[in-house]
Amino acid sequence: MLQPDKQNTDGKESLMQRRSVLKLAGATVGLGALSAAPIAQARPDNVIDLGNEGLQPGDDLSPYLDEYWQSGNEVHIPGGEYELSDVDSLEIDADEDSWLIGDGDVIADHGDVHVLFNITSNGDAHVRMQNITLKGIDSTEDGDIGKVRVWAEDEEGLVELINFNRPDGADGGSRASGFFMPKPHAGVGRFINCHVEGFTDNGLYGTPFAGGDSDDGMGTVEVYGGLYKNNDVNNIRVGCDDSKVISAAVVFDDVPYGQETGSHKGIRVRQGGANQVIHDCDITVYDEPGAAAGIKIDDSRFENGLDSDVTVTDTRIYNEIDAGAVQTSDEDFPISGENIHLTGPGDLDLQGSGPYSDVYRGSEADSPTEQKRWVDGWGDAPDGSTSDSGSTDSSTLAVSTMEPSSVGSTTATLTGSLDSLGGATGASVYFEHRATGTDDWRSTSPETVEETGTFEATVDLLESGTEYEYRAIAETVDGNATGSAVSFNTSYNHYLEVQTFDNSGIVYDFTVDGSVVKADHAGNNDTITDNGDGTYSVEGETGNGFYDDYYFNGQVTAFSAETHPEADNGDYELRLDGDVVTVDELTGQSDSTDSTDSTDDTTDSTDSTDETSDSTGSGTNPTISTFDVSEAGSPNPHLDVTSVWEVADADGDLSWVLVQVVNSSGLVVDAAKTSISGDSAADVNYFKVKNVDGQSFSVKLTVSDAAGNTTTVTKSVSE
């Protein structure tokens, strides 16, 4: 077992005990003040509820914001989803305290447009925007830089974004940042529990454009909690005196939309400044194109003579690349660290002058979470709790409710995250759930845990077609914590995927004699229309190996597709509840004969189901002479599958081979289709499913000849 760089005197303390002691010490030793400077938190005098002004979910939010989101007002938006026809309506140039608050989560959908607007505090004005998700892909144009610009022009000014999210990123047209702090920023810019993902420049560009000896742009940037994921060039970029990144989750596992590579860094300190802090962060860097650093510390971009130092404490880094987990442009750069946990197969070096103490690697180290981190905000936090001091002290017990990992017609797997043990050595965690609108909560069986991280419980005997809500709960001898309620429904009993292949593209439409909603991959170019007679029509388009997906009730009564005018061909595949089906099978005009029985869960990747054949045309069925499935195994938590296959056909008219990786819920999580011909063919396919430690999957191979005769073999594999 690997030992920490600084040995414990007795060697008998548990890792959790060491972390608890160090975190308590870290709040006072070497960090300065973790809470913000004492800036006035007075609320605006004029409070306006847009619900009382006639706004309802589904309406266009822009005209209401144009009229009421003005300097000196506190504006409340009822929870729900709205159109946002004019992104400029979110702008404000405030000379007085001005708040825009979502009473519940507010989703403002701007569609596929270029986003560029300003949130400005003048004098000592306090501007706050809270509980708002800006939905839609930022479609930048050549020469444009898309961004939400946030700044306080005076030293006494404060701008806060609390649970303000931009999860859809930007296309590849030009540079685009999620949030941007421009040169005039001189006060405090604070980002609490925000989610920024998929932008082609920076997620948070928090280094003001100061140059020379100018005092412009020397304001502080503070980041508390949140998720910053797959943004190029940096997920978070900070600089200047007293800037902080605390309790944030930072992840890179894929290039942003429309890009093939880049230079992706997790947290980057790009501007000189004293007392800059990275504390209690979770940073994950996978070996993907453009991955460059977990933490990168540079010399000042501007020659302004600033004193510089950076402290990294109580932080977890998973690194798969061959560059150091913490990198500096100068080996003598003044950086120090304490209680740092390093995992992953990459370079786990810590650069800079140090000193570093209590560094843990490998099996001695805690792994980072890839989920959004939540901390208490200032004033009303998203979960309704309050915190006057703004402290993010990890000695407080904390738990979050996450989206369910799977939902069936009568069952659901509930998911939560124990974010802090609050100094305790263990906690009892469980869930409470109920049908929305009812009074009585039902509890799952408690589970005792000794470390932070996610936990799950499956509930059954649910009513089909019903909306439920649930919340995660953690209890210790010192108290308890409850996460915010998360809703789900059991209304949708079927899952449909419309899959294309390389160089193929389709325009499609289908009708359902029940309700239908978009799942994770259907986009803004896909529409659902209520026909007014109990049926719904869907029109969409997809191509180049991407797919659209939907949840629905009832049955698909009609489906048609044609080649997209910009595609080479119109090849596609339909998957209903994880199984490949024809159009006739989807619409109920013929029965599916494809066998999808799977083996029992097992770590033996050579176990397989019986071979099944389906003859729909003349001739003989093709044969599968070789189908070997292997998994790379530890130390990573991902499923790394290699499938080797060889097929043959006595009639000499082989057509295609499809290899699918199917999870325990029956959903296809990855697939590869290979066009073949002749009387024999062989190939190798590789699949990677991330963060599925301990889960079991089925790998199914289907071979077809030109006449439509198929043969299928399924094997099981576990991470």
In this prediction, the residues of the chain whose per-residue pLDDT falls under 50 are 1-41, 210-215, 301-304, 377-394, 592-606
pLDDT of residue 93: 93
What is the residue whose two structure tokens read 């082989």? 654
For the CA atoms of the chain, what is the radius of gyration? Answer: 27
At residue 379, the 3 state secondary structure works out as: strand
Give the H/E segment covering residue 315.
Answer: strand 310-319
Give the H/E segment covering residue 151.
Answer: strand 146-152
pLDDT of residue 76: 93
Could you tell me if 210 and 179 are in contact, meaning their C-beta atoms sit under 8 angstroms apart? no
CA atoms in the 13 A half-sphere facing the CB of 470? 28
pLDDT of residue 303: 45
At residue 415, the 3 state secondary structure works out as: strand
Residues near 101 by beta carbon (within 8 Å), at least 6 away in sequence: 74, 75, 76, 77, 128, 130, 131, 380
pLDDT of residue 505: 92
pLDDT of residue 600: 35
Cα(78)–Cα(80) distance, integer angstroms: 6
Domains 16-35+43-364 and 494-586 share a fold: no
Residues near 591 by beta carbon (within 8 Å), at least 6 away in sequence: 585
Nearest Cα to 232, choosing from 159, 288, 177, 284? Answer: 177
Could you tell me if 665 and 577 are in contact, meaning their C-beta atoms sit under 8 angstroms apart? no
The strand order across the sheet containing 639-648 reads: 623-631, 639-648, 680-689
pLDDT of residue 127: 94
Q: Which residues pair with 176 in a beta bridge?
A: 146
Cα(711)–Cα(657) distance, integer angstroms: 10
Give the H/E segment covering residue 296.
Answer: strand 291-297
CATH class of 612-718: mainly beta
What CATH number should be reported for the domain whose range is 396-489? 2.60.40.10
Nearest Cα to 324, choosing from 363, 359, 372, 373? Answer: 359
DSSP 352: S
* Record: fold of 494-586: Immunoglobulin-like (2.60.40)
Residue 346's CB is within 10 A of a number of other CB atoms, namely 21
pLDDT of residue 328: 86
pLDDT of residue 209: 55
pLDDT of residue 665: 65
DSSP secondary structure letters along 52-63: TTT--TTSBSHH
How is residue 566 written in tokens? 């910009």
Please enumerate, as own/partner, the contacts of 21-26 that have beta carbons within 8 Å and a separation of 24 or more: 22/314, 22/338, 22/339, 22/358, 23/280, 23/314, 23/339, 23/394, 23/395, 24/395, 24/423, 26/279, 26/313, 26/314, 26/338, 26/339
Cα(638)–Cα(694) distance, integer angstroms: 9
Residues near 58 by beta carbon (within 8 Å), at least 6 away in sequence: 80, 81, 82, 83
Could you tell me if 101 and 379 are in contact, meaning their C-beta atoms sit under 8 angstroms apart? no
Q: What residues does each domain of the chain span?
A: 16-35+43-364, 396-489, 494-586, 612-718
DSSP 44: P
How is residue 272 written in tokens? 């000189």
Could you tell me if 436 and 469 are in contact, meaning their C-beta atoms sit under 8 angstroms apart? yes
Q: DSSP E strands: which ranges in 519-638?
A: 527-530, 536-543, 547-552, 556-563, 572-576, 579-581, 612-614, 623-631
Q: Which residues pair with 496 in a beta bridge?
A: 550, 576
List, for residues 288-309, the tens digit of each pLDDT value.
888 999 999 886 544 445 567 8
How is residue 294 written in tokens? 């977990």
Could you tell me if 83 and 109 are in contact, meaning their C-beta atoms sit under 8 angstroms apart? yes
CA atoms in the 13 A half-sphere facing the CB of 200? 21
Nearest Cα to 251, choosing from 367, 352, 394, 349? Answer: 367
Supply the pTM of this predicted model. Answer: 0.53
How is residue 462 written in tokens? 């649910």
How is residue 590 written in tokens? 């013929």
The count of residues in the chain is 719
CATH class of 16-35+43-364: mainly beta
What is the residue whose two structure tokens read 């190029």? 232
Could you tell me if 23 and 394 are in contact, meaning their C-beta atoms sit under 8 angstroms apart? yes
